[in-house]
Amino acid sequence: MKRRTGQDRSITADWRPATLAVRGGTARSEFGETSEALFLTSGYSYDCAGDAAARFAGEQQGMTYSRLQNPTVEMLEHRIALLEGAEACRTMATGMAAMTAVLLCQLQQGDHVVAGRAAFGSCRWLVDTLLPKFGIATTTIDARDPQAFADAARAETKVFFFETPANPTMDVVDLKAVCDIARERGIRSVVDNAFATPALQRPMEFGADVTAYSATKMMDGQGRVLAGAVCGSEDFVTNTLLPFTRNTGPTLSAFNAWVVLKGLETLDLRIRRQSENALAVGRFLEGRVKRMLHPGLPSHPQHDLAMRQMDACGPIFAFEVEDRVQAHALLDALALVDISNNIGDSRSLMTHPASTTHYGVSAEARGEMGVTEGLLRLNVGLEDPADVIEDLDQALRQVGL
Ligand SMILES: *Cc1c(COP(=O)(O)O)cnc(C)c1O
């Protein structure tokens, strides 16, 4: 009898997202274990020399070396691809390994990239520093305006690269409009979907070609491991991404893959509850602080667009107080919420991007993207939101707000 397997797309095709998150990608060993097995092995053995030769020649299915394949890692890749609605997925050691691989695998000297200027600090470093070093020109634009992508595109433009909502200013990009512009011009759209995850937003439904993830954030969701992922067509993954990653080796460890597999089982529950909590906390803060940047609140200039593209607002938002002194004082007054630059954790965490995640971005670029000296970013966790609100309330009082 054939064992039901979450890797058989004829079986998983009928499963809904919550089912895929728990069972998608599972492949059972001869022991029939219910929970996914953790395969800590760097290599594989062969029954005969001919089998080894056949596997290396690609004539026989099977694994050869864990830089290239691992059963636990493969389960995670299948599961993420199914949740994303993508033909294929490959995981990486970190989100930044995923972003670096997805860009370098498809670009060469003379190419051009248009990127959203509001972005995670290291993503901006790739665009501003790394790519130009290899003769790849880049233009950063206000990604809230789809026309800005069209205006910046040149004959040599190969990639549009952006995140939505963007870290940390919560700029929202019109996925359909921007991906349409890319399609018309034969440009590949690459979306960093770390904030929303496929549980809330599936960019490919709006025409995105490739999605890339820091799985460190909501996918693990409990602040334990670093991981990354890239999703795309079978052709892109096999013929463009894999030659780069197989030989450069930004491979995800089996242990970290296993942790993220466990994380995905509860992704939908966590992200929906954290979105509700973030909405409650955002409503409390509005009016109390200088400015709110919260895609779930009607005061966000792109609230309608965000809610059209996303199933819920997600756990992360930003807000502004007067200046760096007040922002740091507010952080120092917190008793429950941790001062931490991570996001997507089940704990509430707050950071001052200008002095942490975006410290390495030039002051000029920070100004352009709206990372002001008074900006704070909050990840709302799974605590009772009333406790988070009480903590913020007492901290705000201490700094005179
Ligand atoms: C955290 C983050 C990254 C980088 O991911 P790591 O797992 O920390 O390497 C990239 N993009 C966005 C939007 C992020 O939030």
Is residue 255's pLDDT more than 60? Answer: yes
Is residue 2's pLDDT more than 50? Answer: no
Residue to mutate, 192, 217, 219, ligand 1, most ligand atoms under 8 Å from C-beta: 217
Cα 65 to Cα 191: distance, rounded to the nearest angstrom: 30
Closest CA to 314 of 285, 339, 282: 282
Residue to mutate, 91, 94, 96, 343, ligand 1, most ligand atoms under 8 Å from C-beta: 96
Give the pLDDT band (50/70/90) at residue 151.
very high
Can you spell out the DSSP letters for 21-80? Answer: HHHTT----TT--SSPP----SB---SSHHHHHHHHTTSS-S--BTTT--HHHHHHHHHH
For ligand 1, whether the C-beta of 198 sits within 6 Å is no
Is residue 82's pLDDT more than 50? Answer: yes
Calculate how far, in angstroms, residue 252's C-alpha sits from the geometric centre of ligand 1. 15
DSSP 137: E
For all residues of the chain together, what is the average pLDDT?
A: 96
For ligand 1, whether the C-beta of 163 sits within 6 Å is yes
Which residue's CA is the closest to the ligand 1 atom numbered 8? 95
Which residue's CA is the closest to the ligand 1 atom numbered 7? 95
Residue 277 has a pLDDT of 98
- pLDDT by residue (tens digit) across 118-146? 999 999 999 999 999 999 999 999 999 99
Residue 3 has a pLDDT of 60
For ligand 1, whether the C-beta of 95 sits within 6 Å is yes
Order the strands of the 338-339 sheet from edge to edge.
291-293, 316-320, 375-379, 349-351, 338-339
Proportion of the chain above pLDDT 90, given as a percent:
94
Give the pLDDT band (50/70/90) at residue 230.
very high
Cα 71 to Cα 40: distance, rounded to the nearest angstrom: 9
User: Average of pLDDT values for 178-192?
Assistant: 98
- Whole-angstrom CA distances from 248 to 107, 289, 299 are 15, 46, 45
For ligand 1, whether the C-beta of 94 sits within 6 Å is yes
Domains of the chain (ranges; CATH) run 2-265 (3.40.640.10), 267-398 (3.90.1150.10)
β-bridge partners, 113: 138, 159
For ligand 1, whether the C-beta of 330 sits within 6 Å is no
- pLDDT by residue (tens digit) across 27-63? 999 999 999 999 999 999 999 999 999 999 999 999 9
Residue 5 has a pLDDT of 80
| Longest distance between any two alpha carbons in the chain, whole Å | 75
Which residue's CA is the closest to the ligand 1 atom numbered 11? 120
Closest CA to 168 of 123, 130, 230: 123
Closest CA to 317 of 225, 388, 216, 214: 388
Residue 309 has a pLDDT of 97
Residue to mutate, 100, 170, 211, 216, ligand 1, most ligand atoms under 8 Å from C-beta: 216
Question: Does pTM surpass 0.85?
Answer: yes
Calculate how far, in angstroms, residue 267's C-alpha sits from the geometric centre of ligand 1. 17
Question: Is it true that the peptide bond before 353 is cis, omega within 30 degrees of 0?
Answer: no
Calculate how far, in angstroms, residue 54's C-alpha sits from the geometric centre of ligand 1. 38
Is residue 4's pLDDT more than 70? Answer: no
5 token code pair: 């397997």
- pLDDT by residue (tens digit) across 10-37? 889 899 999 999 999 999 999 999 999 9
Which residue's CA is the closest to the ligand 1 atom numbered 1? 214
Calculate how far, in angstroms, residue 391's C-alpha sits from the geometric centre of ligand 1. 27
- pLDDT by residue (tens digit) across 153-167? 999 999 999 999 998
Strands 112-116, 157-163: parallel, antiparallel or unpaired by DSSP? parallel
Burial of 34 (0-12, 13-18, 19+ CB in 10 A): exposed
- pLDDT by residue (tens digit) across 328-387? 999 999 999 999 999 999 999 999 999 999 998 888 989 988 999 999 999 999 999 999
Phi then psi dihedrals of residue 64, to 5 deg: -125, -35
Which residue's CA is the closest to the ligand 1 atom numbered 4? 95
Say which residues have a Cβ less than 8 Å from residue 250's Cβ, sequence separation at least 6: 92, 93, 94, 97, 98, 100, 101, 228
User: Average of pLDDT values for 276-285?
Assistant: 98
- Whole-angstrom CA distances from 390 to 137, 343, 359, 379, 393 are 48, 21, 30, 16, 5
For ligand 1, whether the C-beta of 92 sits within 6 Å is no
